[in-house]
Structure 1
């Protein structure tokens, strides 16, 4: 049976997913044929915290954020998701409601791998289940680091660590959605505090803030702040 260009593209993308590595092409093709496609506009909800997850999501294009929201409406961004990444593993593998919400930051295209197909793989392929456990352990470690940052490191230190981790070379490129409000949600604070921290770092010659990028000018100073 001929495979459409869209399915062929999805199969190629699935080969790069860490916990799908090593699976036969026939298995990946079966997952792809069962998958559902959805387009999302900027600001549209992909799924909500507390809902039952219908499957594992694979982002084809665009950017999303995964977040928790307090009863007062304050957001804590857990991660930004870029093309090629999977998300909401906990909602599929742990048999529990979605632990967080996901929202499109810009126009996005998402594949949904059906829950039943993923669960069947878990029972049939021990090697797949082992890689899933490793991946989930890595996500838990990331969340522990996030909690430690929010609890123990001041805002300037959190900002310094984020810039060091996400810059390509010495430049962090800023998509249109990468506003100070989004950055504040990521770092567990408010926009005014982020604005003040960035202004201070720029005045000290540590960074240069431009319209579409943040450039690291003094890496040694930024590393010292991040420790």
Structure 2
């Protein structure tokens, strides 16, 4: 039954378009299902991974750890996302650690199954490379933001990018520690930024939601007025 769910999802993936039903079905049958508890490590930075991952439910963070133990969260992953293309295709040590933020169900598609598809359908490799390129662009943007923008600007931009309408749902793990790690700062600094944005009437926060009250003002704080 679980493989049937995966099969339906694989048929919708952009990077697998053009494949016949039998090929996608074989790919689904090769997959292994795993459930990770909150804070469970899916893989470690430096591991040589041999699987492509599909996050069916739950949430993850991809991070790097400094020698002093400080974390830099590079991205959050939500249900429906594919990840670890570099590990499975480049056969190089993984550049990040992936950790479950809540209970997460993940499909592991083995390298050998994906390689068979790529050898038979070269256009699939190009589509996967395109998917990887989009993520590389996101990382370049993150690096530029960390270097050139203040914590306030980075936080304001994160809120604008994450909002559904003008509301960001606060999930159990969306706390100031995780957000600070993603923004390249510490919780105390982020707390001061939140107080300032709240005092300015740009946002309001409670335990369930963050609400944008003044989108234009928040965009100005995010240094987006010239975009």
TM norm structure 1: 0.96
1:224 to 215, 220, 227: 220
Q: In structure 2, what is the equivalent of residue 14 of structure 1?
A: 10
1:184 is aligned to: 180
Q: Secondary structure at the residue paired with 2:159? A: helix
Aligned to 2:53: 57
What is the CA–CA distance in structure 2 between the aligned matches of 1:187 and 1:18, rounded to whole Å?
Answer: 30
In 1: Cα distance, 2:96 partner to 2:13 partner: 21
Are 1:31 and 2:27 an aligned pair?
yes
Q: What 5-or-longer segments of structure 2 have no aligned partner?
A: none
Aligned to 1:107: 103
State the alpha-carbon separation in 2 of the partners of residues 167 and 80 from structure 1. Answer: 15
Q: How does 1:1-227 map to 2 (within 5 A)?
A: 5-226=1-222, 227=224
DSSP-derived class of the 2:210 partner: strand
Rounded to whole Å, the distance in 1 between the matches of 2:160 and 2:19 is 34
The Cα shift of 1:214 comes to 0.4
Instruction: Give the length in aligned residue pairs.
Output: 223
Secondary structure class of the residue paired with 2:72: strand
Contact 1:170 1:215 in 2 (8 A): yes
Cα pair 1:76 1:188 within 8 Å, conserved: yes
Q: What's the CA shift string for 1:104-162, capped at 9, x where partnerless?
A: 00111100000111122222212101101111111111100000000001000000110
Residue 14 of structure 1: CA displacement?
1.3
What per-residue deviation string (whole Å, max 9, x for no partner) do you get for residues 65-110 of structure 1? 1111111111111111111101111111112011101000011110
Moved >6 Å (runs of 4+): none
Deviation of 1:21 after TM superposition, in Å, equals 2.4
How far residue 189 of structure 1 moved from its aligned partner, in angstroms, is: 0.5
- Using structure 2 for the length normalisation, give the TM-score: 0.96
